[in-house]
Every structure is written in structure tokens, then in C-alpha cells.
């Protein structure tokens, strides 16, 4: 029996997500009569070590995955479970995204100390977030809010809501659900207020592209209904040369095909993409529909580039 070595960050959320994936893969092995076992290898990433600086100031891509990917290339581990929003749009040579399981809720969630929604927060309320994407959109939606940078794992950020005098914090809804803390959610933010990060709510199962045995197992775990929207979002990100520390958001959903280009009314993908200035003074959004995920992502990205998205991102990168 082959033992698959699974790389994971050390945070409670990362280990919980990895545990869910391993259990799902065990179930598939039992159903299909495949002989695999699994063991978890904890790996510390650069993003885990730098907690006193905002992600946008750290610079670089793959802050939460690079060390894990190197371990795969070195064959210390065989696969890794990532939050898709942490994965760079381009993977290192020799590695592949072997599966995208069913997506959890992609929305951002407001956790408020007094149970107030985003619209109900008082003028000048202090709101914590680790994301330039969120702060850009929230400054546009509520210019009066005081946005403050908070870093750390999901549990430490929840503690900071109480210990640092914040009125609210913004977290990914999927992470709260996976930890069983969904009762802390005050409000799910609408896309009008805060478009999610690329791949938010989805997991990426990365492995070596020459590991045919493992790739076969992962193919049984892949969810095409999730993989196609995520592909559109990630292609959008790739064209913009973005990462998780720049003000870029995107969300693709399946919609009924109703126009002349639709074949027999089959479903199409609808992708909304966003690039915002850090001060919230300019938020660019485009929404298009199409059947080819990669092409759709490219088209939305180029629409935004034509409207000045590259200049915004160049200023962010310095």
C-alpha cells in the first residue's frame, strides 16, 4: 500500500481542510478499491512567519505555498491541500492542480462585536482586515470606516476583535464554516459591497504532474462544476499578473444560456472581475458571459486593462 505524504500549513484551518480532503480521498479509495494511505506533513511558509506587515507590503507571490511546492518538487511530500485563493495563478514547472473539489461559500463575512451589519456600523467604526482587496472595496462602499490591518490565523483574528477594540472584522465565510464557527457570522457581504478573491471558498489539490497514480485518484475527486468557474477566475488573475496581496477580485457562476450564442440553452459561465485602487477612489468592474472558462477570464481582464487596471496595479506594486 502506498502512503501519500500530504503537505499542509500548520494553522488550525489548514489542518482542518487537509483532514476533510484526506477523509474524502479515503472514502473514494474504499469505494473504488484503491490501496492508499495518507500522512500529514506540516510545513511553515513565509506568509506564516511575517505577521507584523500587511501582505501587500511583503511582496512576491505564493507567500503561503512556495515552501510547500518546493517540498513537492523535492519529493518530500506527494501532494498539498491549499486554499485556492492563496495559490499563484501560474504553478511551478513540474506541478499541477490535480483536483478542485466542490466549492464552499465564496463570500466574505462580517463578524461584528455588537451584531451590527456593515450598513449599521456607526460612522468611523474600526474594521479589521488583512486584505487590500477588501479594504479597497470597503473604502469605496463606506468611506467613513477606519480600516485597520490585522494578520494572523482565523482564530487569532477573531480574538483581536475583542482585544484590540475593533467594531468588526472581515473573514472568508468558507473558513468560518470549515472551523464550525459559522455562528460568529453577522452578515454575508454582497458582491456589490465586496467581490470575493479569486478562488475564494475553493480548495486546490496540487501534486507532481508525473505522478499518474495519484492523478488518477484526484481525478475521481475533482468537481467540474467548481473547476470551470475557478479556472475562469484564475485565468483572469493570470492576465493581470496578480496575487492574493493586490486589490483584485473575481467570481464566476453558472447561469442559464439565454442568448443567440447559447447551444440548446446550455448553461454558461458569468464572470465578474474587479480591480480597485487602495484608497477606494476607483473601483473597476466588468461582467461577461461565455462557455470557455480561460477565454472568459482573459476577456474580462482585457476589458479592465483597457479601462486602466494596469496603471492601478503598477502603483500598488510600486
Residue 207 shares a structural domain with residue 82: yes
Residue 146 shares a structural domain with residue 282: no
CATH number where 63 lies: 3.40.190.10
Q: Which DSSP string corresponds to the chain?
A: -EEEEEEE-SSHHHHHHHHHHHHHHHHHHHHHT--EEEEEEE---HHHH--SS-HHHH-SS-TTTHHHHHHHHTTS-SEEEEEGGGS-SSPPTTEEEEE-------SEEEEETTS--TTTSPTT-EEEES-HHHHHHHHHH-TTSEEEE--S-HHHHHHHHHHS--SEEEEEHHHHHHTT-GGG--EEPPTTT-PPPTTTT-EEEEEETT-HHHHHHHHTT--HHHHHHHHHHHHHHHHTT--TTSSEEEEEEEE---STTSSTT--EEEEEEEEE-TTSS-EEEEEEEES-HHHHHHHHHHHHHHTTHHHHHHHHH-
What is the pLDDT at residue 140?
Answer: 98
Residue 196 lies in a domain: no
Decide: 70 and 186 in contact? Cβ < 8 Å. no
> What gap in Å lies between CA 178 and CA 81, rounded to an integer?
14
Residue 17 shares a structural domain with residue 146: no
Angle at 130 between CA 127 and CA 133, to 5 degrees: 90
Residue 172 shares a structural domain with residue 248: no
Query: Which residues does the annotation mark as catalytic?
Result: 86
Give the range of the structural domain holding residue 37, as residue numbers without chain letter. Answer: 2-101+202-222
Residue 211 shares a structural domain with residue 83: yes
Unique residue bearing C-alpha cell 458571459: 289
Residue 309 lies in a domain: yes
Residue 31 shares a structural domain with residue 113: no
Residue 41 shares a structural domain with residue 131: no
> What gap in Å lies between CA 19 and CA 9, rounded to an integer?
12
Residue 195 lies in a domain: no
CA dihedral 149, 155, 160, 161 (to 10 degrees): 100
* Backbone region of residue 317 per phi and psi (left: phi > 0; alpha: psi in -120 to 50; beta: other values): alpha
Residue 114 lies in a domain: yes
Residue 83 shares a structural domain with residue 13: yes
Residue 69 shares a structural domain with residue 126: no
Q: What are phi and psi of 289, to 5 degrees?
A: -120, 155
Report the domain count for the chain. 3
> What gap in Å lies between CA 71 and CA 156, rounded to an integer?
27
**Of 157, 301, 161, residue with least CA distance to 232:** 301
Residue 239 lies in a domain: yes
Q: What are phi and psi of 244, to 5 degrees?
A: -75, -5
Residue 276 shares a structural domain with residue 134: no
Residue 165 shares a structural domain with residue 289: no
Q: Which three cell numbers stand for residue 114?
A: 455588537
> What gap in Å lies between CA 111 and CA 211, rounded to an integer?
42
Residues of the chain with pLDDT under 70: 48-62, 243-245, 257-265
CATH number where 295 lies: 3.30.160.40
Residue 88 shares a structural domain with residue 138: no
Decide: 69 and 95 in contact? Cβ < 8 Å. yes
What is the pLDDT at residue 114?
Answer: 96
What is the pLDDT at residue 64?
Answer: 75
Task: Give, rounded to a whole angstrom, the gap between the first and last alpha carbons of the chain.
Answer: 51
What is the pLDDT at residue 49?
Answer: 56
Residue 125 lies in a domain: yes
> What gap in Å lies between CA 38 and CA 212, rounded to an integer?
17
Residues whose CB is less than 8 angstroms from the CB of residue 17 and which lie 6 or more positions away in sequence, other chains included: 8, 81, 83, 178, 203
How many CB atoms are located within 10 Å of the residue 170 CB? 23
Residue 184 lies in a domain: yes
What is the pLDDT at residue 31?
Answer: 97
Residue 193 lies in a domain: no
Amino acid at each position: 500500500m502506498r502512503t501519500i505524504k500530504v503537505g499542509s500549513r500548520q494553522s488550525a484551518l489548514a489542518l482542518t481542510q487537509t483532514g476533510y480532503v484526506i477523509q474524502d480521498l479515503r472514502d473514494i479509495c474504499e469505494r473504488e478499491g484503491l490501496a492508499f494511505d495518507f500522512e500529514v506533513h506540516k510545513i511553515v511558509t513565509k506568509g506564516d512567519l511575517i505577521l507584523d506587515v500587511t501582505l501587500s507590503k511583503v511582496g512576491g507571490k505564493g507567500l503561503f505555498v512556495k515552501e510547500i511546492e518546493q517540498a513537492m518538487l523535492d519529493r518530500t511530500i506527494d501532494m498539498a491541500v491549499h486554499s485556492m485563493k492563496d495559490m499563484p495563478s501560474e504553478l511551478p514547472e513540474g506541478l499541477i492542480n490535480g483536483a478542485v473539489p466542490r466549492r464552499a461559500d465564496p463570500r466574505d463575512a462580517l463578524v461584528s462585536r455588537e451584531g451590527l451589519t456593515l450598513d449599521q456600523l456607526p460612522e468611523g467604526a474600526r474594521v479589521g482586515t488583512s486584505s487590500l482587496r477588501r479594504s479597497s472595496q470597503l473604502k469605496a462602499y463606506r468611506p467613513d470606516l477606519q480600516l485597520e490591518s490585522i494578520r494572523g490565523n482565523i482564530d487569532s483574528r477573531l480574538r483581536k476583535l475583542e482585544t484590540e477594540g475593533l467594531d468588526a472584522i472581515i473573514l472568508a465565510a468558507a473558513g468560518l464554516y470549515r472551523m464550525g464557527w459559522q455562528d460568529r457570522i453577522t452578515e454575508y457581504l454582497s458582491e456589490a459591497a465586496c467581490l470575493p478573491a479569486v478562488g475564494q471558498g475553493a480548495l486546490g489539490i496540487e501534486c507532481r504532474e508525473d505522478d499518474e497514480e495519484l492523478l488518477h485518484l484526484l481525478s475521481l475527486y475533482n468537481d467540474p462544476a467548481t473547476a470551470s468557474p475557478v479556472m475562469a477566475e484564475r485565468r483572469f488573475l493570470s492576465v493581470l499578473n496578480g496575487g492574493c496581496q493586490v486589490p483584485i477580485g473575481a467570481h464566476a457562476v453558472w447561469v442559464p444560456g439565454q442568448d443567440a450564442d447559447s447551444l440548446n440553452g446550455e448553461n454558461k459561465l458569468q464572470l465578474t472581475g474587479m480591480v480597485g485602487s487602495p484608497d477606494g477612489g476607483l473601483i473597476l468592474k466588468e461582467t461577461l458571459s461565455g462557455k470557455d472558462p480561460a477565454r472568459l477570464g482573459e476577456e474580462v481582464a482585457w476589458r479592465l486593462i483597457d479601462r486602466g487596471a494596469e496603471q492601478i496595479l503598477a502603483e500598488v506594486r510600486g
